[in-house]
Amino acid sequence: MALDLDASLSLLRQCKYLPESDIKALCELVKSLLLEESNIQPVQSPVTVCGDIHGQFWDLLELLKVGGEPPETGYVFMGDFVDRGYFSLETFSLLMCLKARWPDRITLLRGNHESRQITQVYGFYDECQHKYGNANVWKSCCQVFDYLNLAAIIDGRVLCVHGGLSPDVRTLDQIRIIARAQEIPHEGAFCDLMWSDPDDVDTWAVSPRGAGWLFGGKVTREFNQINGLELIARAHQLVQEGYKLMHDNGIVTVWSAPNYCYRCGNVASIFQVDDLLDASRSKSLSQNAGNGKAAANDLEAGGVGGSEQEDRFGAQHFKIFEAVPDQERTTPARLNLQTTQYFL
């Protein structure tokens, strides 16, 4: 009997997890879809780009409310769907169900937490074990992890990736030939795409995370120039204001888990890419950033402090949202959240 995706979506939106047989069928369906997709999945604008979710199910529903429901709105989710939040299972199940229902409107990228090793430490494994009484669903989800896209490219100009760049990757073609159907390695290009962070360094520096690298503005500028990119969008780091532009606006961090771990007090954002980035138009907009209309557009777009940086992106803008109030969300009876500090 075929899985009823609409019925599954209705159940999941109530923060109820699917029967074991249904979630296994969903995993197989999504895996078959991902098998047909590329390491760098091409996406056309308009599309909305999202950062880490981390099992914050009710905040994911808020994100969809703010950004617009599929299929009217297309989404790129840049990984880290699970761990730390109360509802990793329901969160990943909902995202898979949206992918299965509208495969051309939902793109799911792999993050460093879409990993067998990491999920056994930071919550997702224990959650599956608790809810199903066995690890079978966790194993099925991990098989899906192995086929998630490594990156997406919007209109050939905006690269979306969970973490960042790698000293082993100079061109997009070097990402396209990575064998992605495996557990995330401990080093090398695949690892770095999941784990690296932009920083105020010249080129490359050792990452305090113990995986990936810190990379500087020179690296970002050269990579964008070589590959004909206007922007890299990535997630992976908590940003109190929801997003952060760096390296002469060549890279942006998008963070989509408000009040992260239910204690950080941050707002979240989504990045709406409405059309091609046009360099000459961006320059013109930047020169006119001081006029009243541009300032008003900044505020409408949820720009942080009316910053001029957003003008570089023209019709593309960020939407800021806050965590769902406690009275509008449910909390599981048994709490066992990891509060390990590495993300800070």
Catalytic residues: 113
Give one DSSP letter per residue of 101-167, joined into a string. Answer: HSTTTEEEB--TTSSHHHHHHHSHHHHHHHHHSSSHHHHHHHHHHTTSBSEEEETTTEEEESS---T
The secondary structure element, H or E, covering residue 173 is helix 172-176
Q: What angle do the packed helices 136-145 and 124-132 form, to 10 degrees?
A: 140
Which residues, including other chains, have CB under 8 Å from residue 18's CB and lie 6 or more apart? 8, 11, 12, 26, 93
Please give the DSSP secondary-structure letter assigned to residue 255: B
Query: In whole angstroms, what is the distance from residue 126 CA to residue 121 CA?
Result: 8
Of 177, 154, 151, the residue nearest 164 (C-alpha): 151
Strands 197-198 and 204-206: unpaired
